[in-house]
Structure 1
Amino acid sequence: MKVLVMKRLLPLITLLLCVNALPCQSSDIKEIQWDNLIPKLPAQDNPLAGLSEEEVDFIEYIIYLREFLPKEVTPENQEYYDEVNNALPELQKKDIDVDKIIADRRNRNSAVNTELDNQEIKLAGYLLPLDLSGNAVTDFLLVPYVGACIHTPPPPQNQIVYAVSATPTPYEVDELFKPVSVTGRLQVKSSSKELYLSDGSSDINIGYSLSVDRIEAYRP
C-alpha cells in the first residue's frame, strides 16, 4: 500500500522539487538614470555652427535674456531689454533667428520618453520640497542636480519629476536638495507646480509624475 502511494506521489514530489529549484524571478523594478528620461530624437542642425566662441557666448546671452526676462519692462531691467532689442536685428542679418532657436529648444526639452510610462522604476536624485516651510514632505520635486529651480533657470521639464508619496507618512527632510533614491510607478504626465522660495514663488513645468512607494537616503 505504501509503495503504491509513493508511486502516485512521485510525479508531484518531482514537480515540487523542480519548481523550488527554479531561480528567483528578477524584480520588475527598472533602475534608470536621468538620461533615460530623455527620448531619442533625430539629430538637429546646430544653428550656431561655424561661429566663434565669442559670438556663440553673446548669442546664448541674448537667448537667455529673451527667454527669462520678466514680461513687464521696469527701470531695473530696461538696460537688458535694450540689449536684446539692439541685438535681434543684427542677428537676423546673419540668419540667426533667436525666437526660432528658443522654440526648437523648448520643443526638444519638453519631449518625454513614453516607453517609461506606467513603469516601476528606481531613480536617484535630489529632493526639493515644493513648500519650504516645514521639514516633513509627502510631495516634492526630484531633480538631477543641486541648485535646480532656485535662482537659476530650471532644468528641462523632461528632467523634473513630481513625486507624491503613496502613503500618508511624510518623509523627514533636514536639508534642501537632500540626495535620495526613490522607487515607484512613473507616469508621463505634464504639469506645472508652484515652488515657494524665500524671495517669492516660481512656476515649474514638469514632464513626469511618480507615485513613490519607497524613499531612501542616497550617497552620490
Structure 2
Amino acid sequence: MLLSRRQMISAAAASAALPRLASASTVMEITWDDLIPPGVPYSEIIGQGEIDEINDTWNPIYDENANKLNPLLNGTRIKMPGYIVPLDLNTKGVTSFILVPYVGACIHTPPPPPNQLVYVTTENPWPGDDLWEAVWVTGHMKHETQSTEIAETGYTLTAEAMETYVW
C-alpha cells in the first residue's frame, strides 16, 4: 500500500504530537521533600522560634528558606500523600483543605513552613468521616501563596482525584 505525500505528512505530524500529549497526562509522584527546592536542606527551612508564655505555645519564625518553592513543580500534574486539615466542610464532605505531612500538623502544633503546606480544592468532596486517614491527592500544582486562618501555604493544588493512602 502506497501512502500519498499528504498522508505521510499528516502521519508524521500526528506522531510528533503524541509525546507531548502523553507527557501532559503524566503524573509525577512526589514526596514532601520534593516541595523544598533542590539544594536547600530541610534543616534550613525550620527557622527559629519564640515562646509565647501567656498562651504557652511556641511560635515559629521562618526565614526566606521556608518560603522557597521548588520551581520544577509549578504547573505540574502531581500525586502526593498527606493528611487533611479541613477548611470547608459540609454534609457532603471536605471541598477545600490544607494537605499536611503528618497527623495534627496545624492543629495541635505550630504549622510547618509554607513550603511544606499545600492548599487543596476539589469539586468531589472527600467524606468527612475519613479525615484521619492518609490520602493520595492527584492534580495540578501551582506556586501560589494562600493565607488561611490556620497557616500560610506555598502551593495550591486543584485535585482531580483522591484516594485513601495504603501503606
Is the shorter-chain TM-score for this pair beyond 0.5, marking a shared fold?
yes
Say if 2:88 and 2:95, in contact at 8 Å, map to a contact too: no
Instruction: Please name the residue that 2:111 is paired with.
Output: 154
Is 2:133 the partner of 1:178?
yes
Instruction: Please name the residue that 1:209 is paired with.
Output: 156
Supply the RMSD in Å over aligned alpha carbons. Answer: 3.4
TM-superposition CA deviations, 1:142-179 (whole Å, max 9, x none): 111111001211111111100011x3x32213143321
Say if 2:92 and 2:125, in contact at 8 Å, map to a contact too: no
Segments of structure 1 that go 5 or more residues without pairing to the other structure are 1-6, 20-24, 47-59, 70-75, 81-101, 195-202
Q: TM-score with structure 1 length normalisation?
A: 0.57
Q: % of aligned pairs identical? A: 40
Instruction: Please name the residue that 2:165 is paired with.
Output: 218
Q: How does 1:110-129 map to 2 (within 5 A)?
A: 110-129=67-86
Say if 2:120 and 2:158, in contact at 8 Å, map to a contact too: yes
Cα distance in 2 for partners of 1:127, 1:29 equals 21
Shift of 1:135: 6.1
Pick the structure with greater CA Rg.
1
Say if 1:135 and 1:174, in contact at 8 Å, map to a contact too: no
Q: TM-score with structure 2 length normalisation?
A: 0.73
Q: Flag as ranges the 4+ runs of structure 1 deviating above 3 A.
A: 131-135
Cα distance in 2 for partners of 1:178, 1:207 equals 23
Segments of structure 2 that go 5 or more residues without pairing to the other structure are 16-21
Cα distance in 2 for partners of 1:211, 1:131 equals 14
* Paired letter, 1:141: I
